[in-house]
Structure 1
Amino acid sequence: MSNTPHTLGEEFPGQMDKIHALKVSNPVFAQLLASYDAVNDEIHVAETNVQPTSQDHETELRKRRLAIKDQITHALSQLA
């Protein structure tokens, strides 16, 4: 989706080269990125009421996105 907030580029400014390198070399990390994008898209759909959802479900999605973001952050910190 276009104009989706919380894209990886926004969340990790200046680190897209590292993200790409890890994505290409590590299939587990690549799956983590795919999961982040999928959850982020679900949140965007809920926020824009394209597919309304309960507040509890939306909160759970946000928590899942944050947990995935933490995993991405950890993986990136291991490259330093």
Structure 2
Amino acid sequence: MVTAVAYSNFRQNLRSYMRQVNEDADMLLVTSTNPDDNVVVMSANDYDSLMETLHVAENPYLSDKVLRGLKQVRTGRTIRHDLIEE
């Protein structure tokens, strides 16, 4: 669940909210009196992950590879490989 905080409180405690978003790996909804001004704050790592997931989902080739891999795992058609040590 996304935590919501009023803009004025967010502004007064910006550093602690930034730390919270990064440590909890959760998003923060910053609300305003005008709902059109509301924003969501998330960590840069979570944003990068979300964008990568979106890229894969929008790319038919990559999306198909993921779905085929999931199907292989679900049907037990996987091969175990030992790690190669350098």
TM-score using structure 2 length: 0.30
Question: Which has the higher relative contact order, 1 or 2, with Cα contacts under 8 A spaced 6 or more apart?
Answer: 1
TM-score using structure 1 length: 0.32
Higher helix share: 1
